[in-house]
Structure 1
Amino acid sequence: MTPRELPLRPPVDVALARVVPTLPTAPPGRRLAYEPKFDGHRLLIFRLEDAVRMQARSGRIVTRAFPDLAAAARPLPPGTVLDGEVVVWTGGRTDFAAVQKRAFAASESRAGRLARELPASYAAFDLLAIDAEDLRPLPYALRRARLMALLEPLGPPLQAVPMTTDPETATAWYEALPEIGVEGLVIKDLDQPYRPGRHWRKLRHSETRDAVVVGVVGPRLRPRALALVLPGDDAPVISAPLAPDIRAQLATALRDLPESQPPPAQLPTAPDRVGVEIAYRPIDPDLTVEVRQESTVRHAATTVIRLRTPD
């Protein structure tokens, strides 16, 4: 391998977590790591030879949406690949709707304006490569040590997420962190390599989650369903059919939104609750709804519970 040959380039399949009902503890002879789970926008940062590139969970390249993070990543050594979550802080809390505005900025000028108005932070939780070395086969404990050594001299906005191996500390975090918008924990085995699939675990406070509305199915002011983006993802899904009271709430909220650009001739599609691709009319990501996900045999049905309104 020559010095300019880097081990990882986008797209890279990411590791995921499965939901567990209680806080796991390590069996004899094993150790677990506990991290706060930030509900933001999943992002891999690639420091290439002469550029920075950013990949969303779906594989989509989203570098243009985060010019502030691209600038912050330039001091990283070529070949560095970070995995983490983009978050935006407003009023001392993480703001999922704000980070989705950043992620779906439609133009370079809008991305630059939002970077000034809603500066992003990057909560890194893994180091997949550095220089000419692919770190994914290494145990998480070693990757974590390399991550800390890499990011500590840099400081914000690139920072490693907190981590503990003490279940009592993890429990204290789980009870206290919802005050700042952190809704759970991610649990990892210290001996695990990094690999795609749901090999991590996550514990959440609530069965419901917030989602950002990125489109409507049916008439703009009386939609039958919504295209939604959930925390940690960037690929829209179509909700279950909306209840009449939810449709009434949305009618007012959608009427108050400014008209966006005319929809493209070819409307985008997203899977519904049974996996069928449904066309939707895009809207600016300015509305947030509370949803509940219920697993079926093959897919998760996403039901809208209520419209979130500003406090």
Structure 2
Amino acid sequence: MSLRPPVRVALAESVGALPRGAGLAYEPKFDGHRMVIFRDAGDVVLQARSGRIITAAFPDLVDAARQLPAGTVLDGEVVVWTGGRTDFAAVQGRAAATPVRARTLAVRLPASYAAFDLLAEDGRDLRPVRYERRRERLVAVLGALGPPLQPVPMTTDPQLAAVWYETLPEIGVEGLVIKRLDQPYKAGTRAWRKLRHTDTRDAMVVGFTGARSRPAALALVLPDDDTPVVSSPLAPPLRGQAGAALPEPVPGTGTAMAPGLGEVEYRRVPPRLMAEVAQGTTRHSLITVLRLRDAAEGDEEGLVPDKGADG
């Protein structure tokens, strides 16, 4: 097939108001992990945004993707639904699962895949093709399959998009992605736009720097990504709270990008603690931890990030 992993994914630039005008398409932005699905004549490969291969973590999606025609490559978001809402803690637990635990978690926390682009069909690279045509082919490819592989909703009506923006947060949708109908798929470029309700987001704590009793900063995984980043230094009250809440570290260290410092080393912990963070408009802007909370209730024993998640 023409496309093989890893591929660079298209990205979105944050905007402060809903873009309007002719030739625009609007999609809900789900709160999960970016994933590219490759289906070739042999089998299925799953790739995270970073390029890391995560096939073993999602055996349920692998089984579903085997129904795709050979030569198909999808771009989208993997989510886990709990209580009628997308659950980032749950999907991060799935992404961090060891291969031994992955099958059990696939039954208890089944994944869904919200596909928003078709990068290849029948082995043909569709990235140079306008979005409007790629969308038509995406719906045609997935229409006969149904969940857990399904296309995200899309509209060209800005009034309906505004209704989505106001109503869908109750199911965990964090905003909208806006694309031009005539646009090719621009890998590695912020050619799309995204409108989020707030500058705050939930992130999974996967490690810390400094002393465990009073950590200096936290290593975090943000929605739509799988590569840890380091927060700005914690405020003094949060250092004590984090020290009391952090799980016991697991063997080994990771490295992650810290704004202004570059790559730094951190101690790894199981993904059991969430942080509400304020983030700038780019991935490597300052990330400030506002508060901490427990991850969703559930049996997370054994969910330890694999070494590949260290970026």
Where does residue 3 of structure 1 map in the other structure?
A: none
After superposition, where does 1:49-88 map in structure 2 within 5 Å?
49-88=41-80
Where does residue 276 of structure 1 map in the other structure?
A: 262
* One-letter amino acid matched to 2:104: R
Q: 1:307 aligns with which of 292, 306, 309?
A: 292
User: Given the alignment of the two structures, is residue 229 of structure 1 paired with residue 221 of structure 2, yes or no?
Assistant: yes
Q: 1:19 aligns with which of 5, 14, 18?
A: 14
Asked if structure 1 preserves the Cα contact closer than 8 Å seen for 2:272 and 2:295, the reply is no
Asked if structure 1 preserves the Cα contact closer than 8 Å seen for 2:50 and 2:227, the reply is yes
Where does residue 43 of structure 1 map in the other structure?
A: 35
Pair 87,299 (structure 1): closer, same or farther in 2 beyond 3 Å: closer
Q: 1:119 aligns with which of 72, 88, 110?
A: 110
After superposition, where does 1:248-263 map in structure 2 within 5 Å?
248-254=240-246, 257=247, 259=248, 261=250, 263=251
Where does residue 280 of structure 2 map in the other structure?
A: 294
CA distance in 1, matches of 2:81, 2:276: 20
Q: TM-score, normalized by length of structure 2?
A: 0.92
Where does residue 179 of structure 2 map in the other structure?
A: 188
| Cα deviation 1:170-227 (Å, max 9, x = unaligned) | 0000000011111100000000000121000000000111111111112223211111
Where does residue 246 of structure 1 map in the other structure?
A: 238
1:299, CA displacement in angstroms?
Answer: 4.0
CA distance in 2, matches of 1:250, 1:91: 27
* One-letter amino acid matched to 1:88: V
Asked if structure 1 preserves the Cα contact closer than 8 Å seen for 2:14 and 2:281, the reply is no
CA distance in 2, matches of 1:300, 1:167: 30
CA distance in 2, matches of 1:188, 1:308: 34
1:20, CA displacement in angstroms?
Answer: 0.5
| Cα deviation 1:8-43 (Å, max 9, x = unaligned) | 0001010000000100012xxx41100000010000
User: Given the alignment of the two structures, is residue 218 of structure 1 paired with residue 210 of structure 2, yes or no?
Assistant: yes
Pair 283,112 (structure 1): closer, same or farther in 2 beyond 3 Å: same
CA distance in 1, matches of 2:9, 2:134: 15
Instruction: Report the RMSD for the aligned CA atoms in angstroms.
Output: 1.5
Asked if structure 1 preserves the Cα contact closer than 8 Å seen for 2:205 and 2:275, the reply is yes
* One-letter amino acid matched to 1:294: G
Q: Secondary structure at 2:191's aligned position in 1? A: strand
- Stretches of structure 1 lacking an aligned partner (at least 5 in a row): 1-5
- Percent same amino acid among aligned pairs? 64
